[in-house]
């Protein structure tokens, strides 16, 4: 029998995949991609995996998992009574928070979510959510909710750019409702003082490398959340609301640790591009849909008139339009009609200031053509 050269087979298949691969792109691609190119310091990744190799523990809360939990908590400035837990992805993190409260009460909660948000807030545990409009800032409009119709609210932090949540926090406290913050892109040195939050470590997020997520909970509830994402023996009530296997391996975590370690350098680069974009946008008549200079993969700007998707094509930057409304609510539809999401990551540095202004002129021209 002829020996099968498995190495040759694998190498042949990866070469074929490389040659045949077609990226899934939903927008017209410009010279600068919507998501930045992230260098991987393989020497640091290897260093972060040494304890895993030493203990032969590559998953199930291995050494890198514990290191990431502590490192992200320190980076976020969390108090001792709050814990952040690495999990498979941000969507599963949010689902786990819903399941935590369902298992505690013995039944699914009735949730209210914003029409200006990500599709996961109307799927899974949130399938039957009440979808309401957003405020002018893109946050859940709690004043439009009948408190008797819901048990809790899911507040999406759009693009991770908002840092003021007093209104939703006050409303939840006044009406004794559970508050979950879908803070996917909101990782940073300071985060809102909200007990239950989910974060994404997806490649499209500044802190993301590949896939991953974080769950933030009161420390006393950390084990209860993890039970719903692991294969720990469960009570009958917990079993009803088990999410699935949401564990993340030390291999994946090592990439996130390397990204986190270099945050001071790349955060400064993000902020520089945010400043340049704001200046270019304002000079061409666009309004920033945010304050300050957020660290974000892309930043949202509002045009004076509605922007068709065709206006986003042919630019040197790969432009987007988010979020697609989850329901046809008035403010949500208005924001979506006028919004353009512009890359604000370090790769934007390849365009000079004049080229950035030209990007907004190009979009404006598409807007004018649509009106004529």
What's the per-residue H, E or C state across the chain? CCCCCHHHHHHHHHHHHHHHCCCCCCCCCCCECCCCCCCCCHHHHHHHHHHHHHHCCCCCCCHHHHHHHHHHHHHHCCCCCEEEEEECCHHHHHHHHHHHHHHHHCCCCCEEEECCCCHHHHCHHHCCCEEECECCCCCECHHHCCHHHCCEEEEECHHHCCCCCHHHHHHHHHCCCEEEEECCCCCCCCCCCCCEEEEECCCCCCCCCCCCEEEEEEHHHHHHHHHCCCCCCCCHHHHHCCCCCCCCCHHHHHHHHHHHHCHHHHHHHHHHHHHHHHHHHHHCCCEECCCCCCCCCEEEEECCCCCCHHHHCCCCECCECCCCCCCCCHHHHHHHHHEEEEECCHHHHHCCHHHHHHHHHHHHHHHHHHHC
For the cut 50, the answer to whether the pLDDT of residue 92 exceeds it is yes
Q: Mean pLDDT lowest for which of 9-18, 98-107, 337-346, 349-358?
A: 9-18
For the cut 60, the answer to whether the pLDDT of residue 293 exceeds it is yes
pLDDT tens per residue across span 338-353? 999 999 999 999 999 9
Q: Which two tokens stand for residue 170?
A: 């006050």
Please tell me whether the overall predicted TM-score, pTM, comes out greater than 0.75 for this model: yes
Q: Mean pLDDT lowest for which of 44-48, 126-130, 289-293, 366-370?
A: 366-370
Strand-pairing partners, residue 23, are none
**How many Cβ atoms from other residues are within 10 Å of residue 299's Cβ?**
25
Is the domain spanning 24-39+264-371 CATH 3.30.1050.10? The answer is: no
| C-alpha triplet 148, 154, 158: angle, nearest 5° | 140
Q: Percent of the chain at pLDDT above 90?
A: 89
Is the domain spanning 42-261 CATH 3.40.640.10? The answer is: yes
24-39+264-371 and 42-261: identical CATH topology:
no
Residue 50 or 6, more confident? 50
Place of tokens 């928070």: 97
For the cut 80, the answer to whether the pLDDT of residue 5 exceeds it is no
- pLDDT at position 25 is 59
For the cut 90, the answer to whether the pLDDT of residue 7 exceeds it is no
Mean pLDDT computed over 278-287: 98
- pLDDT at position 370 is 56
Provide the residue ranges of all domains of the chain, joining segments of one domain with +: 24-39+264-371, 42-261
Mean pLDDT computed over 215-221: 99
Q: Is residue 67 very low, low, confident or very high in pLDDT (cuts 50, 70, 90)?
A: very high
């Amino acid at each position: 029998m002829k020996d099968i050269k498995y190495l040759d087979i694998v190498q042949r298949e990866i070469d074929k995949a490389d040659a045949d691969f077609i990226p899934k792109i939903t927008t017209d691609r410009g010279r600068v991609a919507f998501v930045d190119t992230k260098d991987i310091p393989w020497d640091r990744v290897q260093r972060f995996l040494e304890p895993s190799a030493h203990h032969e523990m590559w998953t199930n809360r291995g050494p890198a998992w514990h290191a990431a939990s502590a490192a992200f908590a320190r980076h976020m400035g969390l108090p001792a009574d709050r814990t952040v837990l690495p999990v498979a992805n941000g969507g599963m993190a949010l689902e786990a928070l819903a399941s935590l409260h369902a298992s505690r009460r013995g039944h699914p909660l009735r949730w209210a979510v914003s029409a200006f948000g990500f599709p996961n807030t109307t799927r899974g545990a949130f399938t039957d959510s009440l979808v309401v409009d957003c405020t002018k800032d893109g946050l859940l409009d709690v004043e439009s909710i009948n408190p008797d119709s819901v048990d809790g609210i899911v507040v999406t932090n759009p693009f991770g750019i908002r840092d003021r949540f007093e209104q939703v926090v006050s409303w939840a406290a006044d009406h004794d409702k559970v508050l979950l913050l879908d803070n996917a892109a909101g990782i940073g040195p300071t985060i809102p003082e909200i007990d239950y939050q989910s974060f994404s470590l997806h490649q499209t997020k500044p802190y993301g490398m590949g896939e991953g997520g974080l769950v933030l909970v009161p420390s006393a509830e950390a084990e209860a959340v993890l039970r719903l994402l692991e294969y720990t023996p469960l009570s009958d009530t917990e079993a009803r609301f088990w999410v699935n296997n949401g564990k993340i391996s030390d291999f994946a975590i090592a990439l996130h640790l390397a990204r986190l370690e270099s945050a001071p350098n790349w955060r400064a680069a993000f902020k520089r591009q945010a400043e340049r974009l704001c200046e270019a946008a304002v000079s061409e008549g666009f309004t920033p849909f945010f304050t300050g200079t957020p660290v974000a993969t892309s930043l949202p700007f509002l045009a004076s008139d509605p922007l068709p998707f065709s206006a986003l094509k042919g630019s040197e930057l790969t432009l987007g339009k988010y979020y697609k409304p989850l329901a046809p609510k008035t403010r949500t539809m208005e924001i979506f009609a006028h919004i353009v999401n512009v890359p604000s990551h370090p790769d934007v540095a390849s365009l000079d200031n004049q080229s950035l202004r030209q990007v907004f002129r190009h979009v404006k021209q598409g807007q004018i053509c649509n009106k004529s």
